Structure 1
């Protein structure tokens, strides 16, 4: 206790003594080994001509406090070539950063290396060295690169990494593989998504000034989780800011086709909507969560029925408003202090707020079918929808971190909360065809009011300990995450058009309905890693071992209420605001609500996962130029489920009912081998093999039926037995083979070519249920074995070699090309063969769903530090991708390429301020998904136009 009190008082003294502290400045830096990219422990840093100096800690970092002036630093370590850094300026109360001082092993008598501080600070040496010397194949982007290109958040920055695409501005896909095969981690710990239907966390919430680096692992190593295939994106946040951070940023965006639109749809929500959560306006009425709610036929009094209906919000339709421009703001604070002579304390605080609106006045959905006649090629529609979609989105985020370092240990505690609220109002015209099988044929006007609030709270307690002069490292992490998702009071109202005016028709547009959805999830990760540096075959080697225990638990429930009529349906005009008027509610009128929630509820489930893992790996040089990394990971994965299907919920004992029963139970071995042959000091040839896995999500391995109230499409959990599917959804096991040739040049320039092959056993894809013709229903299924063949090409080149006037310009591009093949199941092949058209020859192979055939990233950049101006023109596109697997009457659905051209410019305004201008979707492209059939015109599955957005941002650093 006394020691803790001493530390607290010391910190307080340092913080409060600004006048004394301001008399001196600080030099901070990092020393890494050129050959490995690893930090070097115990390096001597001496101020030339004095006896003042220090040594690096286990992170390779050092800290020097000096009076104002210019200094030369001598960097020396036994068996390494000395380095002198000249012209290091120190200002009173300021911090001077010297990034990535690289030491080379002394092979022969070499002269001392002399560089200037300016030269040290403009290189991206650490990331390039890490990429060049890593045991496995990876790509990444560093904090230093963020400063150069001016990207404000992680999503923008990752678009520049080879083989990476960012969907919807927030979800990362690697090598064109869908969300299922990409994993997002923060500080090497699993972080669940804000969206329960996604693997990947929304990464646009991370400001780049709090990120140390982002590494995309493309080939597996034993210490990483096995449930990825395309890549693992690991976001490392800063724990010790090298310099004080007090940043404030403001930005706004304007889309001429969306903002200040008088036709924007909205409704009166909650006073707390602006903070990303509902304040109670939309909460479920008291007594509604039981099966026997008050109805005219349940024995309740008339007043009880009337009171119950009136306890629901009476607003069922949107109003027209005028929406503002988008706005975002952020603040970041951080610093580190010396505590005593050998300890250091650091902190980081960050808050972000984003509020945006979107308005699409020609949003379209379609349901199309093949014709049964083999000579009829055109697709016919079952349902077409066209209308207006208006959305308001709020994202509120906070991150706080504390770190404490001693000579042999480092402790880090971080807490993060993200709160997201999305308000959605729609108005659609529905055209249902009488000519399509299973359809009744009607016209209707549909209105939807939706609200979704999602929250993620994560804590990380991390400790790193070094022993025996940093030859032993023990790294442990404990990280609980708590996620919630509430979709309160989703309201759908559809007026069926008739010769006598608008009316409610259960067999056509349907009766008004309301839905509440709830989800709570807990995710606890415990992990320990032990590393031993030693000598093998005459060179340095690393032995690693460790394990983890991950526990996840989710509770999910859907409650539905349908409007019914006890007597005649009231006369209607088509205005949703008229429906729940007092004169229409029982007993004055005929309206009452009926529960669609039997007990037990088929749309309620509880699931949990226990994943225990252990690994061993060894990294060594088998020969002088051949780095070898061999590893084996073992995972024991058990998933349990409590839930039932609709048949059992209706009282039929032949239905399925599970009570905490195992639905997945696997004990798997995941070997990995990574070989790197150093052709030259700057040229590598890599070969890799690994075995990985993709597992179904909680939602997929359930009996849940989830309705999208706008598109009217239904997701069915994979445990349902329907349409020759036995409900036996299982994991996908993948074998991965990779090779890469890479060459590195000065100033971050590089050239690389990669080839990869992946084989999939039982891949999971979203399939259109063929037996359901009256409704549009989809289900995740194992579809047959698959293969992926791919190639990646990347280059970064400064254009100064053409002429000196182009020295500030750079050209970069990375291209990924993929061929994917699925061997269809016998059922899918027969369903396609039965609807074969004249002249068509259906075979038993097709493209893999979710796998893009190509990704292209290209850009030309300008970076002139002398005038503080940088920016560029950047292009990204992903090829036509199979999205939904069809069969029988239903054609496949493909996502169209979206050619995204973006302009970004950053200008420094003195040393403390900067302004950013960006223009996205310069080509005014449309986002669309289409049905495709043999010799048929493609037809719309979904389509909308985001238009062009101009953003202006300002940042000030105190």
Structure 2
């Protein structure tokens, strides 16, 4: 009976609590933007009260009604918030409670709860007081705009451009010099060869903010130059989250297209991974596989051929529109005493169909004759390709918090699968240098599956009234990228008929690529607040260690013919029919391994990077904030792999590395940041920092990676050539910045910047001039570089024109850069040897990867009361050198892509819990193009395709 009574009493208690509502808020220092710990919050006229925790947050349980809150803290003016409306079972959120320091008058500040809305005022304060040049977007602003993914929100950050709809670049610098972190920790993206994380995978309702640092301070990792974007996920949701969203998009050029190319995959492709259907056949990884001359029986040869999937031809079906769905759940619960439990969970699914019906891949050369200016083609590929991309995301987290400490655990799993099928016509010009001359048709079938699993364990501890704070983080990440069974089947056609020709279109090939990478990071930051000359100061120091390990392998097989060939009907779908398989003549197909042991296209690499830093922020003089820091990193990269010569048995002249150090350095990265407060709303900044860019795992290797569609080959830097000794080193960069900034109300800003960067041994992708029969590229250190840039940023409401324009906002960012590379003697001579009549080759050129200009602009309309938001956004990057040519081969540039996008969202319903989104992407119907450029010659295509216009419609509901 006692237990029944306890259960009944608990039930009645829960019912009574359910009739209450909650008031939640965050309290910040109006001067610094930092959250305040231990602030007393009292419901006027009652004894109900609480105190803010280490995040400046508080929660009050009260009955339905209207209340006044009194908020007090030593040395700050008392803040009274009036007319706080509370409804039963609901949360009233006060996002931005700003406390001002006490003055001699010690007056009380009184505000109405109605004016505390989701503004970016606190974020503006953080930017104004930040040690680094900072920009970003807060969760408050994201809620206003209704952006669903992080990449949509990032478009609104000044100085940011979006590459490929996924990657964030800052100031026009490419991926090598940009970096993305998650919760302050390094994390590899789904593309393990990029610094940048795919930003379209994060739903915005799980994000606290996105901040972009445009210069370096000692507490940051040193391997970025353009900008570092940090995505901070929520751990304690301000209010209860239960939301569902559905969206679809339609591209008239791509969807509901009956000519869409595809092929049969596995039953689990819709989940983003292959279930083994494309797996490597049993025994294929052995040193000796069954062939007519291997000593195996005829039946073993036949069985081995039949163990490979016989589908080699792309087939057609009708493509579906894109669609996506997501579900998010989160809340915080009060436990015993001052303990709180927060949890967050999200699952998302996205399926996209992409169709290109006029893809062009071109290989062009210069003529040797100096009077012939136009370029000649070596190989032209024209064709069509279909892609289906699936992304599944899971994110979950739990956190426990007291007034002075917090512990959180977050886990994330991303699974991505992309199936591609294409048909191409290949025209090779035998008159071009190194070319045989042929015409071929090719069917290409590909599948790539990528996964990322990340865990973050984070603890924050504030020692009451001592000024000390400790923040520690542990974050392991395991990522994979596999390409199972890439198939290319190319018939070579001539007047004598069609056949497979190894010296022309090539024999049918199959490739298996596998990559696994482990990242394990530990980080400790300690902060001590103190006073210097009666002014606030902050000492910060810490240590971090990063361990990375990658295991990579490529296995290659091609079809051989035991005897002659006969293909009266050159159809890839019939190639592996039983009548063509050994010992049936005339074709007698069997598989030959292209692999030798040890495999030169397999490597294992690891990195250990230990960092330690100290930084001090102080004011020696009034209004002049000085931040001086020094970071040290000890970086060691080791490699296991070998070259083709060693793998073929030439152990004397070949190279073989067994966990040998290929890169090792101990670097010091000093930084000085000066911030002079011209007025309360204006800063003048100056800064210097030294940073670094390091080669990737695949760049420091013997790997040769072929793109099966374009036939272009990436070579690791270890291969030596005349003028290149195979020693790829780091790029060290000196960075200088000057910036004036004016902060206005409601998150408005105006700033002007100038910057200079000096690059020592920059790394660029270079065409290998010695490889004239194939198209091969290699990362190399080129001559020293430098760039000069200016930047103008603004975000301005248009209420100064008229009150009728008060809901309109205009924002823009204009970056103009002059970059120069001092050519090496080898590069300069190779260019001079192909100098045209009237041309003067200089010993400098544009820096690869750096756009000469970046323009971001947008106009938006927001009406908070009606829940309506709309915006038109434009972005373009100037022509950017992508691949450095040499001698016979011209430079390759990326053509400016004029991106114009429109978005509109409307919150409907009495509580505005339902949001309808409508978007139009690529309004100008721009094409993605890269091209060859040579003196007085017409630009010729390197690659081009048209993404078309896309119309999107989405609906989300928040319970």
Please give the TM-score of this superposition, normalised by the length of structure 1: 0.98
2 CA distance for matches of 1:751 and 1:830? Answer: 46
1:504 Cα shift?
0.9
Does residue 437 of the first structure (1) align with residue 438 of the second (2)? no
2 CA distance for matches of 1:948 and 1:16? Answer: 57
Which residue among 450, 453, 460 is the counterpart of 1:457?
453
Alignment of 1:109-148 (within 5 A): 109=105, 111-148=107-144
Does residue 656 of the first structure (1) align with residue 652 of the second (2)? no
Partner SS state of residue 685, structure 1: strand
Partner SS state of residue 940, structure 1: strand
1 CA distance for matches of 2:877 and 2:660? Answer: 41
1:407 Cα shift?
2.5
Partner SS state of residue 497, structure 2: coil
- Runs of 4+ in structure 1 over 4 Å off: 10-18
Superposed CA deviations along residues 823-862 of structure 1, whole A, max 9, x for unmatched, are 1111111100111011110011011100011111111111
Given that residues 58 and 470 in structure 1 are in contact (C-alpha distance below 8 angstroms), is that contact kept between their aligned partners in structure 2? no
1:570 Cα shift?
3.2
Q: Name the counterpart of 1:956.
A: 957
2 CA distance for matches of 1:317 and 1:556? Answer: 28
Task: Count how many residue pairs are aligned between Structure 1 and Structure 2.
Answer: 949
1:341 Cα shift?
2.3
Q: Name the counterpart of 2:572.
A: 576
Query: Which has the larger displacement, 780-789 or 112-121?
Result: 112-121
Which residue among 583, 592, 595 is the counterpart of 1:594?
592
Superposed CA deviations along residues 854-902 of structure 1, whole A, max 9, x for unmatched, are 1111111111122221111111111111001001001001101111111
2 CA distance for matches of 1:197 and 1:83? Answer: 51
Given that residues 52 and 403 in structure 2 are in contact (C-alpha distance below 8 angstroms), is that contact kept between their aligned partners in structure 1? no
Partner SS state of residue 411, structure 1: strand
Query: Which has the larger displacement, 156-165 or 696-705?
Result: 156-165
Superposed CA deviations along residues 196-239 of structure 1, whole A, max 9, x for unmatched, are 22111111100111000011111111111111111111100000
Q: Name the counterpart of 2:3.
A: none
Q: Name the counterpart of 2:549.
A: 553
Superposed CA deviations along residues 288-321 of structure 1, whole A, max 9, x for unmatched, are 0122111111111111111100000000011011
Which residue among 400, 404, 411 is the counterpart of 1:404?
400
Given that residues 690 and 737 in structure 1 are in contact (C-alpha distance below 8 angstroms), is that contact kept between their aligned partners in structure 2? yes
Alignment of 1:25-40 (within 5 A): 25-40=21-36
Given that residues 121 and 745 in structure 2 are in contact (C-alpha distance below 8 angstroms), is that contact kept between their aligned partners in structure 1? no
2 CA distance for matches of 1:608 and 1:918? Answer: 43
Over the aligned positions, Cα root-mean-square deviation in angstroms equals 1.5
Partner SS state of residue 499, structure 2: coil
Q: Name the counterpart of 1:208.
A: 204
1:689 Cα shift?
0.6
Partner SS state of residue 121, structure 1: coil
1:112 Cα shift?
2.2
Partner SS state of residue 570, structure 1: coil
Q: Name the counterpart of 2:808.
A: 809
Partner SS state of residue 550, structure 2: strand
2 CA distance for matches of 1:407 and 1:115? Answer: 26
Which residue among 69, 74, 91 is the counterpart of 2:70?
74
Query: Which has the larger displacement, 70-79 or 475-484?
Result: 70-79
1:16 Cα shift?
11
Partner SS state of residue 435, structure 1: coil
1:800 Cα shift?
1.4
1 CA distance for matches of 2:52 and 2:693? Answer: 42
Q: Name the counterpart of 2:826.
A: 827
Q: Name the counterpart of 1:792.
A: 791
Q: Name the counterpart of 1:3.
A: none
Superposed CA deviations along residues 670-723 of structure 1, whole A, max 9, x for unmatched, are 111111001111100111111000000001000000000000000000111124
Superposed CA deviations along residues 538-570 of structure 1, whole A, max 9, x for unmatched, are 111111111011100000000000111111113
Q: Name the counterpart of 1:944.
A: 945
1 CA distance for matches of 2:610 and 2:193? Answer: 24
Partner SS state of residue 799, structure 2: helix
Alignment of 1:94-243 (within 5 A): 94-109=90-105, 111-243=107-239
Q: Name the counterpart of 1:933.
A: 934
Given that residues 14 and 337 in structure 1 are in contact (C-alpha distance below 8 angstroms), is that contact kept between their aligned partners in structure 2? no
Unaligned runs of 5+ in 1: 1-9
Alignment of 1:241-260 (within 5 A): 241-260=237-256
Question: Against the structure 1 CA distance between its residues 886 and 942, is the aligned structure 2 distance closer, same or farther, given a 3 Å change threshold?
Answer: same
Does residue 645 of the first structure (1) align with residue 646 of the second (2)? no
2 CA distance for matches of 1:152 and 1:11? Answer: 42
Partner SS state of residue 699, structure 2: coil
2 CA distance for matches of 1:805 and 1:395? Answer: 43
Partner SS state of residue 801, structure 1: coil
Given that residues 276 and 394 in structure 1 are in contact (C-alpha distance below 8 angstroms), is that contact kept between their aligned partners in structure 2? yes
Q: Name the counterpart of 1:688.
A: 687
Q: Name the counterpart of 2:311.
A: 315
1:527 Cα shift?
0.7
Partner SS state of residue 494, structure 1: strand
Q: Name the counterpart of 1:54.
A: 50
2 CA distance for matches of 1:692 and 1:803? Answer: 46
Does residue 697 of the first structure (1) align with residue 696 of the second (2)? yes
Question: Against the structure 1 CA distance between its residues 678 and 311, is the aligned structure 2 distance closer, same or farther, given a 3 Å change threshold?
Answer: same
Question: Against the structure 1 CA distance between its residues 849 and 16, is the aligned structure 2 distance closer, same or farther, given a 3 Å change threshold?
Answer: farther
Superposed CA deviations along residues 472-520 of structure 1, whole A, max 9, x for unmatched, are 1111111100011110000001011111332111111110000000001
Q: Name the counterpart of 2:771.
A: 772
Given that residues 501 and 573 in structure 1 are in contact (C-alpha distance below 8 angstroms), is that contact kept between their aligned partners in structure 2? no
2 CA distance for matches of 1:50 and 1:584? Answer: 90
Question: Against the structure 1 CA distance between its residues 251 and 408, is the aligned structure 2 distance closer, same or farther, given a 3 Å change threshold?
Answer: same
Please give the TM-score of this superposition, normalised by the length of structure 2: 0.98
1 CA distance for matches of 2:309 and 2:906? Answer: 50
